[in-house]
Structure 1
Amino acid sequence: MRNPGARVSNVWAVVIAAAVTASMAMGIRQTFGLFLLPLGAEQGISAVALGLSVALHNLTWGLVQPITGALGDRHGAGRVAAVGGLLYVAGLGLVALHPSAVTAVLGIGIMTGIGVGCTGTGSVVAAVGRAASPEQRGSMMGIAAAGGSVGQALLVPYAQIGIGWYGAAAALGAMGLAALMILPAARVMEWNPRNPAAPRRPLSDLPRFAREALRERDFALLTLGFFACGFQLAFLTTHLPAHLALCGMPVWLGATSLMLVGLFNIPGSWLCGKLGNVIRPEVALGGIYLLRTVAIALFALLPVTEWGTLLFAAVLGSIWLGSVPLTAAAIARRFGVADLGALYGVCFFNHQIGGFLGAGAAALLVDRTGSYAAFWPVMILVGLGAVAVNWATRGPIRATAPA
């Protein structure tokens, strides 16, 4: 007979390792916006080149997430995360040692894009979902998602101080060294598949599997709504510090805002995960998108001030990554957890198409007009669309697959 206490201890080990992995992966990428102007001033990399590199990072992440999720389901999410950690280190190191527009595209756009696809919240919550019981699943996935915010809270000021003291290239190298922490955490998280009896479809079968899942109306709506999350968050992560600088705000405000987002999302992700245990996750997701969109609308309409910006960051932070455990919980309720990594990856691909458009279109806009003013109404409309599609979903109409 298995010892329940040992199982609980094992679950917490997986959750903590997953939180550390997500903390490094998500925290580092949240600092990219801080480098937008300094790399241009120091190394001659234009803001549009770096902005498009971050946009490509988002698109690459989305393209690989279904594949890395499926590999994690089959071989263990920890093995996949270890490979991603090495790619993260190499991509950041390349730009730090040879800063240019070309290395930014290759290092940040492609290498770290693949790296975060292996190590980000989409990969780690699948491992946690397999380790936790159905009753624990929402809360535990929320805790793992909150790990990404711990990294943001710690690494944003670390990056800002490094830029000020040693320059942008050296600070980017320091981010690469921080990514080494992913390697030992990945070994603990899920080195072997947790459900070896699950069907092991080949990767070549992934497109057919994705099409079958998307034929289900409500999974398709959930996937469509996730576009808005990527669109809004990629724009804010990449361009909020530059927007504040263009509005005449002090440099410290951009870094502090991103740090506040991370701090407030630590309890926020956990609470959102618990909320998914109480009400249908899609209903909660619609509420998150509505609150986020209202906050964006008020920030866009009111004059930009220091205290208003900090309040905006705190509100956003409370729901920043709350969509991750809720989306994963919605998928698990419909399909079980055996293929959770692959199915979340399918949904997340649309998230990252949104991220690519949000970061890339804004970079082109500011390069042409010198302002982000025309982008805020688009952010509002996209958010309202996400509210509508999530609230149009229905509850699962068939029994959940075995966990």
Structure 2
Amino acid sequence: MTIMRAKKWFPWLVLLSGCLVLSLNLGVRQSLGLFIPDMLNDTGWNAATFGLAFAIQNLMWGISAPIAGAIADRFGTTRTLIGGGIVYALGLYLMGTSASPGELYLTAGFLIGTGVGITSFPVVLAAISRVFSNEKRSFALGLASAGGSIGQLVMAPTTQALNSSLGYVAALVILAGISMLIIPAAFAMTGKAEGNSPTATPDLGPQGLAAAFHEARKHRGFALLNAGFFVCGFHIAVIATHLPTFTELCGLPRSVAAEGLALIGLFNIIGTLTAGWAGGRWRKKYGLSFIYGMRAVVIVIFIFSPKTSETILLFSASMGALWLSTVPLTSGLIAQVFGPRYMATLFGIVMLSHQIGAFFGAWMGGIVYDLTGNFDAVWWASVALGVFAALVHMPIDDRELRATAKA
């Protein structure tokens, strides 16, 4: 009886631990843009320097995600997350002491990006998807994605308070210590890809990682998911990296940017839970088209609105509802079509596309600001990409490959 009860509650323990890991991962990462205005003043570097550092961070996040996914599928989730937590904390600790752009690229770019990538969605969501049934998986992935938003809701005002009272050097040291909480949470995230998992999608026989990758590469829908997630990364990087600078450009207090990032986290909880619930009832590809289309609409309204504190906060809340709601639908669609066995690796590849988009969003924002003194071109590029992403999800073939092959 005790063993059966433990098995019943184990998936929820994995889910809770995954929420904690993602809360720490995203809560700290999405708050780092709050340090840019002070670091701009203290170092004398231009916005493009910080844009490139955060672009490298996003790119390393994307590069490390599929590698971490493959390692987790092969050697287990716990060891992968422990290693990622250590790298993440080291990058945060050293970021504040960077004395040159090269050091900033190494710490804020390479180390933090690698640590974030190892401890982010592909590894965590794959572990969760393996312990939940097909019927409950989409909602569980939505809960886990919402967990990351709780971290952003808490960490954005916390980071701003630490930065205001202690300065960015001490604040980053404290954030490094907080990020180390990923390590104890990792011990509940056990397991690796198993072909005979009781919750796995039945397949036609043994399938290796190379075969799974080849199968996905030939699937048109997988390419379209990569294209859509590129847009998601572009949108998120533009806002998370440059909203504090944009707020100051509008003559508004720095606290407005922190409140905006916190609101993104708050409303993202609602958005991801809703998307996870809806993904279990309706076709996920149409949900993704709706989300990207609504992002384009919200940004257009924002462009033509007066830039007041209320407008910034309303924009943040609206984008928050659409922020990571793409994650449970995209990851759920991968598990639905290809099965959960190698989801960490396959979603890691899609995450790489997301972070390539984030690279261009962060870097382009800094370059455009330095050249024009505003972010207008970046906002309009975001609108065009939102429309593009809304369209490319429509033709995705979302039928389960295993069932299709059996038939």
Q: CA deviation at 1:5?
A: 3.9
Amino acid at match of 2:332: A
Which residue of 1 is the match for residue 343 of structure 2? 340
What is the TM-score when the length of structure 1 is the normalising length?
0.94
Q: CA RMSD in A?
A: 2.0
Shift of 1:240: 1.1
The equivalent residue for 1:86 is 86
Pick closer, same or farther for the CA change 1:97–1:374 going to 2, 3 Å: closer
Closer, same or farther: CA 400–116 of 1 in aligned 2, 3 Å: farther
Answer whether contact 1:210 1:346 (CA < 8 A) is retained.
no
**In structure 2, do the counterparts of structure 1 residues 331 and 265 end up closer, same or farther at CA, with 3 Å as the change threshold?**
same
Q: Tell me the residue number matched to 2:153.
A: 153
- TM-fit CA distance, 1:144: 0.8
Give the drift of 1:397. 5.8
1:194 to partner: Cα distance: 5.7
User: Are 1:286 and 2:289 counterparts?
Assistant: yes
* 1:300 paired residue among 293, 303, 319: 303
Q: Does 1:225 align with 2:224?
A: no
In structure 1, distance between residues paired with 2:51 and 2:240: 11
CA contact (8 A) 1:37 1:47 kept: no
The aligned counterpart of 2:47 is 47
Corresponding position of 2:9? 9
CA spacing shift, 1:110–1:200, aligned 2, 3 Å: farther
1:46: how far off?
A: 3.3
CA deviation string 1:186-212 (max 9, x = no partner): 11122x32626586847xx4xx75454
Deviation at 1:89, TM superposition (A): 0.6
**AA in 2 matched with 1:193:** K
d(CA) in 2 for partners of 1:209, 1:3:
34
CA distance in 2, matches of 1:401, 1:17: 35
Give 1:2 shift: 9.7
The aligned amino acid for 2:164 is G
CA distance in 1, matches of 2:123, 2:389: 23
* Cα distance in 2, alignment partners of residues 2 and 270 from structure 1: 31
Opposite residue 398 of structure 1, the aligned amino acid is L
**Cα 1:160–1:322, aligned 2, differ >3 Å: closer, same or farther?**
same
**Partner of residue 326, structure 1:** 329
Residue 319 of structure 1, CA deviation = 2.1
Match for residue 245 of structure 1?
248
Higher mean C-alpha displacement, 249-258 vs 41-50: 41-50
| Paired residues of 2:33 and 2:244 also in contact (CA < 8 A) | yes
SS of the counterpart of 1:40?
Answer: helix
**Distance in 1, Cα, partners of 2:235 & 2:245:** 15
Equivalent residue letter for 2:328: P
Relative to 1, partners in 2 of residues 1:258 and 1:4: Cα closer, same or farther, differing over 3 Å?
same
Cα pair 1:56 1:356 within 8 Å, conserved: yes
1:94 shift after superposition: 1.2
Larger mean CA deviation between 269-278 and 73-82 belongs to: 73-82
Do the aligned partners of 1:332 and 1:400 also contact (CA within 8 Å) in 2?
no
| Cα distance change on mapping 1:340 and 1:194 into 2, 3 Å | closer
Please give the per-residue CA displacement for 1:52-93, whole angstroms capped at 9, x wherever unaligned. 111111111111211111111122222211100000011111
Matched position secondary structure for 2:251 = coil
- Contact kept in structure 1, 2:37 and 2:244, CA below 8 Å: no
1:265 is the counterpart of 2:268 = yes
Cα distance in 2 between the residues matched to 1:116 and 1:401: 36
Structure 1 segments unaligned to the other structure (5+ residues): none
What is the aligned counterpart of 2:359 among 356, 359, 362? 356
2:102 maps to 102
Distance 2:335 2:93 in 1: 37
Matches within 5 A, 1:168-179: 168-179=168-179
Cα deviation, 1:256-298, whole Å, max 9, x if unaligned, reads: 0000000111232122111110111111111111111111111
Structure 2's unaligned 5+ residue stretches are: 198-205
Equivalent in the alignment of 2:202: none
What does the per-residue CA deviation read over 1:357-378, in whole Å, with 9 as the maximum and x for residues that have no partner?
Answer: 1111111111122111122111
Number of aligned residue pairs: give it.
Answer: 397
Percent same amino acid at aligned positions?
36
What SS is found at the alignment partner of 1:135?
A: helix
Q: Is the 8 A contact 1:23 1:152 kept in 2?
A: yes
Deviations 1:320-365 (A, max 9, x none): 1111111111001111100000110111111111100111111111
Q: CA deviation at 1:47?
A: 2.5
- Alpha-carbon distance between aligned partners in 1 of 2:404 and 2:181, rounded to the nearest angstrom: 35
SS of the residue 1:391 aligns to: coil
Distance in structure 2 (CA, Å) of the matches to 1:168 and 1:132: 41
1:359/1:316 CA distance change after superposition, 3 Å: same
Letter in 1 for 2:74: R
Q: From the superposition, tell whether residues 25 and 60 of structure 1 become closer, same or farther in structure 2 (CA, over 3 Å).
A: same
Aligned-partner SS, 1:393: coil
Q: Does 1:23 align with 2:26?
A: no
TM-score normalised by length of structure 2: 0.93
1:300–1:376 CA contact under 8 A, matched in 2: yes
Structure 1 SS opposite 2:402: coil
CA distance in 1, matches of 2:7, 2:94: 42
Could you report, residue by residue, the CA deviation over 1:163-197 in whole angstroms, capped at 9, with x for unpaired residues? 1111112112221111011000011122x326265
Paired with 1:200 and 1:45, the residues of 2 have a C-alpha distance of 51
Q: Is the 8 A contact 2:98 2:104 kept in 1?
A: no
Structure 2: which amino acid aligns with 1:134?
N
